[in-house]
Structure 1
């Protein structure tokens, strides 16, 4: 991608006609198309964009009408807050009312990259963006297309995953087009996502303590290189209680789920194979690790041999199972260590917390 200059949009009135909802334009990672996407964002329209984690449904974070279009396109519950994406440290103080020293240290270590920090929000961030909270999640993506669009549009971008709410997140532009055709202005194709699961979301619990609200590529061990104390929120592996406040995307609702009924099986291969054979029905599939599954009597898909490969592949494999017509899917549970915790977290939600120990 050729780098483009910073744009002064002052006085630009968006002379293009606003899209009617019957066409979603497919744009490429080239100068002319990035300009067009940036103009759409500045004009209050919604654009699917690539990040290193998953594709996002981008809109001007400070424009309530634009953000409302994101919620409408996704069918997203209004109390599920959005993450605001920035392209520079200067933008951080425009979004956050307070930036503690620990937040600055974490930003120096992990930005740009897949880490979201929950911070007190400026009054310029509307309640619809923050889910009615007085805090907001902020991150600086490392994907060059995402950062270019933030710079060119001149607006901070609110960008939840660009999928129908509850469905597996999109990791290619084709996934976004399948979910959002006719609902948004455009999709920018920046290639497959390299990380494959959403960012790690953290809150700051004091001068030197961090709580992980949603696991991602930035692991607990990595955070411990900066913060003295790092804890895991119970909602990572357990369902929130009725009425409990959502502090981060991905905490409260059933997420990441294909149309098929997903059962997560945690334990040995022998136990997994026995479970599948005992409970299989018509249109049953198994999602297993690379090199496994040859002895099963049901069709299989594999999703990698280590936690990083599993993170990259899990959402695309869940979507593929729907394409194959799967009705019941047994999934081999990954390790809950390192990046594997992020994959495990997504899978227990895809399974509606139906986990069987084998």
Structure 2
């Protein structure tokens, strides 16, 4: 686990224009000084991320919001006060401190305050904003431990802060608050139900958006194995058919089928709790990759609470892969 000396060293790396992998409550981030265009550009190079895909700026507290954005609406202020620190990202008009390299060339910026003691200690020691997408290659499974980061990015990261396993396990919810009515652009660690309770009305989750934000690529959060989604009651039959056809099949077995034997290369019995599922999702996908699966059969959970974020990640994982 990160020590005070580790945090001071990481802050020095950021000041020198380097990259630091830092833990948050959602996933590990690949961090750079948010005001250093060259350092921010290096994030894109290390991840293999298209420069048009905006990043999230992490702040040390809600009181810093006005320093980084142009205008804070009443709704944005309410959501920040209610959910920060926490897995909620707000999209607002970019302030002058934010370089266009961090926003994918947009005049909007995504900002949040992470709910992790190591991340907050680093932000305090550094004294500025940290731009940090997930610390993995673009489009692949997000890391939820320091070992995941080291295995995937290796020496491309100048320093890795170990904060243990991430407690939420899926990325933050992204909400566009540039207009009169907020819209959820990416479901995540703060549920739609909790957001609606805070604002007092229903919120939309548009399938497409004119505002570019992280996690919108058709194929994202994807393991090496191809992911196939079927109805929960068809998971076992689909997996066994693929097994008979010669695939090394991995199965994310729904709780309703717990204890049922499955003819497959590897089986992960999913927890009944949505919070436990979200926390373990990326680790499950990584485990099936490590066990040599070439196909993963899964189903979508009920799209309520954290199930909405889990279903979003699974759909992206099963999305069309870019040609190679």
**TM-score between the two structures when normalised by the length of structure 2:** 0.93
Residue of structure 2 in register with 1:297 after alignment: 263
Kept in 2, the 8 Å contact 1:85–1:138? The answer is yes
Aligned pairs for 1:151-300 within 5 A: 151-204=124-177, 206-207=179-180, 209-235=181-207, 245=210, 247-267=212-232, 269=233, 271-280=234-243, 281-290=246-255, 292=258, 294-298=260-264, 299-300=266-267
Q: Structure 2: where are the runs of 5+ without partners? A: none
Aligned pairs for 1:1-80 within 5 A: 28-80=1-53
Question: Structure 1 pair 245/106, CA: closer, same or farther in 2 (3 Å)?
Answer: closer
| TM-score normalised by length of structure 1 | 0.85
Deviations 1:232-260 (A, max 9, x none): 3333xxxx5xxx75521001341111110
Aligned-pair CA distance for 1:31:
1.0
Segments of structure 1 that go 5 or more residues without pairing to the other structure are 1-27
**CA deviation map 1:72-97 (0-9, x unaligned):** 11111111100000012332111111
Q: Secondary structure at the match of 2:166?
A: coil
Deviations 1:121-148 (A, max 9, x none): 1122111100111000010111011111
Q: 2:313 maps to which residue?
A: 346
Shift of 1:276: 2.2
Task: Deviation per CA, 1:200-246: give whole Å up to 9, x if none.
Answer: 00012644x321000012111101122233433333xxxx5xxx755
Which residue is 1:116 aligned to?
A: 89
Q: 1:293: Cα distance to partner?
A: 5.6
Q: Distance in 2 between matches of 1:305 and 1:119?
A: 36
CA contact (8 A) 1:102 1:227 kept: yes
Q: State the Cα distance separating 1:353 from its structure 2 match.
A: 6.4
Aligned to 2:298: 331
Q: In structure 2, how many angstroms separate the alpha carbons of the residues matched to 1:205 and 1:265?
A: 37
Residue 264 of structure 2 corresponds to residue 306 of structure 1: no
Q: Contact between 1:173 and 1:188, CA under 8 Å: does it hold in 2?
A: yes
* Number of matched pairs: 317
8 Å CA contact retained: 2:62, 2:84: no
**1:231 partner SS:** coil
Give the ranges of 4+ consecutive aligned residues of structure 1 lying more than 6 Å apart after TM superposition: none
1:316 maps to 2:283:
yes
